[in-house]
Structure 1
């Protein structure tokens, strides 16, 4: 227990819950974190019934619900905002239930000194309804991401953290402008008016320019000068480059894919994964190996990284687990050969 003297509340000290319980001669009240508010605590007195109180929305939920009142061009945007707000509230309620259960069962002291749950949340109407059709909120987040409305910025920032799997993009990626692969890629990009997702990527940076990749549709922000600047973008989920094949892979800050039609792309990924190569601790670059293997079969496939440590070809994983200089290019023939190898290096 963290305690403080009411006369000098800035002076805190630690004591044992059970010790204070024995000194006052009765059970001590405890409030879960989400209900630890003066309006709730003031309702308690010895012998009083458990207080039933509402869990107040946090700043994220308030922002989402307020944004849902905006007149969006696409109704799916409102659905996406309300759905995420309800999801966050349900998660808060679940966390509160778990906290109460843990402290009710294991609170107090090992000697059995009791702990009194002084407040619980209202259960009427919970859990809040969720949208079961994944396509609808996904369409909503696409609309928000591409919006140029001022009101789209804050919900987009929240959505990139809590609804990443519904966005039409992969993980946040940053690469150096000076790299040869990144430089070639930059020549394929088109300058554009910033959208909500561009604004979130740019953050509080000042020297920025906004682009889009016409092939993959991903948003890109150029930060800083050509000498020490970076490309900041959300990786593509797939390379819709029909008719082309993977020609080579370039390892330069991220995995770059060069195709037979002369184009270059950042390697596609999934929202919760990353493409990594080189030796390091117990990690192995199975994500990159499995992505490359899928692209070798079909350049336009929407890559999956489920159980990548089981699916990644052992030879490709071994190839990518070696230390390599930035800009190393691995031709398709090298990749094909590695893909046929077993862990011990025999074909």
Structure 2
């Protein structure tokens, strides 16, 4: 090993005024060949050549990429003397040049304070995992709520799931590299481990309480509630009180969709309204009085169409009320169902798998499963991945047919198709 000296590191944000456009940490070693900078991306992937223009005292610049080469995470390197030549050294080569094992952090452990404080030879320290979606706003809100409240316990529970999943993955990544026969071996050191100390672990709760807490959170209006719902939605919509998202455009609406639009009621925006509203040019916030689902009206939702065009974005129910009886299915986007008491609903569906018809694929098969369940039990839950739902070959064949949009299929039609008639 050559003699070298660690010069410390620098953490840079994506908006640092340079053209790099990524967030990263650069550790720097003074070596006989000049300064070698090793870059660990934290958000985005910087290009090694563009970094030479920022780190002007650097002789060699190495970016640690996310995907793997033969001996570990791939290294992208460039020398100032020949910046046009990008090459991929081995970890053992890099360790030889900096005079000792090279640090490597899983993405989840690349925290600014820890990275900038690290020095060669330091013992591994516990680090709170950095995740997307983020568990931290959920814990922040939970701490503000009364002990035992559904909102508090729901936020701790989902935050714990997010953090635990990422911590387990980070630990697996490091153990995989340690046990990999062709891996970096002694050329790599792991300066951090996931922090397993969890202040919310004692307040984890059941799915039912999580659902109740999130339902309450959806009706709030504060900024932190919005941030929490953004992260919950990015993690999984499974625990939210509503099903999958759908949209209806005013200029291209069927009679049944117009029926749904006309029953919407104006309401002040809630936190769940705002999760959508901050993405689009929102012109109205509503509630569906039948399902309780929030609805937003936005302008210019689709490119290459009129910017004044109004689109309504809502959420389908996960299930219809217990005891309802399916009367008909209307083929539209979304799929609609009407019960024997005349009430119209978006068909129960999650964000995935989706419902559709008119081709040979998963959409018609999922619609067949959904309709089969509703024929047996009007209050059945929407189809989800891996829920063990039974196949509906008769309905599956029926929904592969290219029925005209707006086609109404009565219960009699559906029962006959189900039996293969």
TM-score range, shorter chain: 0.7 to 0.9
Distance 1:201 1:314 in 2: 37
The residue number in structure 1 matching 2:17 is none
Contact between 1:215 and 1:240, CA under 8 Å: does it hold in 2? no
2:210 is the alignment partner of 1:137: yes
Distance 1:331 1:272 in 2: 25
2:149 is the alignment partner of 1:75: yes
2:200 is the alignment partner of 1:120: no
Contact between 1:43 and 1:51, CA under 8 Å: does it hold in 2? no
Secondary structure in 2 matching 1:187: helix
Query: What is the correspondence of 1:54-93 to structure 2 with a 5 Å cutoff?
Result: 54-55=127-128, 57=130, 60-71=134-145, 75-93=149-167
Structure 1 window deviating more from structure 2 (73-82 vs 247-256): it is 73-82
Which structure has more RCO (C-alpha within 8 Å, separation ≥ 6)?
1
Structure 1 window deviating more from structure 2 (267-276 vs 64-73): it is 64-73
The residue number in structure 1 matching 2:280 is 205
2:394 is the alignment partner of 1:315: yes
2:410 is the alignment partner of 1:331: yes
The residue number in structure 1 matching 2:65 is none
2:296 is the alignment partner of 1:221: yes
Structure 1 window deviating more from structure 2 (116-125 vs 248-257): it is 116-125
Q: What is the TM-score of this pair, normalised by structure 1? A: 0.82
Distance 1:134 1:247 in 2: 31
The residue number in structure 2 matching 1:289 is 368
1:2-52 alpha-carbon deviations (Å, 9 max, x no partner): 87776245984432214334566754443333334574475443xx25422
Secondary structure in 2 matching 1:254: coil
User: By how many angstroms is 1:87 displaced?
Assistant: 2.1
Alpha carbons of 1:38 and 1:15: their partners in 2 closer, same or farther (altered >3 Å)? farther
Distance 2:243 2:309 in 1: 25
1:130-156 alpha-carbon deviations (Å, 9 max, x no partner): 614222222110100122334321111
Distance 1:132 1:101 in 2: 31
1:48-103 alpha-carbon deviations (Å, 9 max, x no partner): 25422423555823322222244579921122122222222212211210110122
Query: What is the correspondence of 1:28-39 to structure 2 with a 5 Å cutoff?
Result: 28-36=102-110, 39=114
Distance 2:182 2:268 in 1: 58
2:356 is the alignment partner of 1:276: yes
User: By how many angstroms is 1:126 displaced?
Assistant: 6.0
Of 341, 346, 350, the residue aligned with 1:261 is 341
Contact between 1:104 and 1:115, CA under 8 Å: does it hold in 2? no
Aligned length: 336
The unaligned stretches of length 5 or more in structure 2 are 1-37, 40-47, 63-76, 79-85, 301-305
Secondary structure in 2 matching 1:258: strand
Distance 2:333 2:401 in 1: 15
Q: What is the TM-score of this pair, normalised by structure 2? A: 0.69
Secondary structure in 2 matching 1:211: strand
Alpha carbons of 1:146 and 1:15: their partners in 2 closer, same or farther (altered >3 Å)? same
Of 210, 229, 236, the residue aligned with 2:317 is 236
Distance 2:390 2:123 in 1: 53
Distance 1:127 1:14 in 2: 45
Alpha carbons of 1:137 and 1:241: their partners in 2 closer, same or farther (altered >3 Å)? closer
The residue number in structure 2 matching 1:168 is 241
Distance 1:184 1:336 in 2: 26
Contact between 1:21 and 1:113, CA under 8 Å: does it hold in 2? no
Contact between 1:223 and 1:230, CA under 8 Å: does it hold in 2? yes
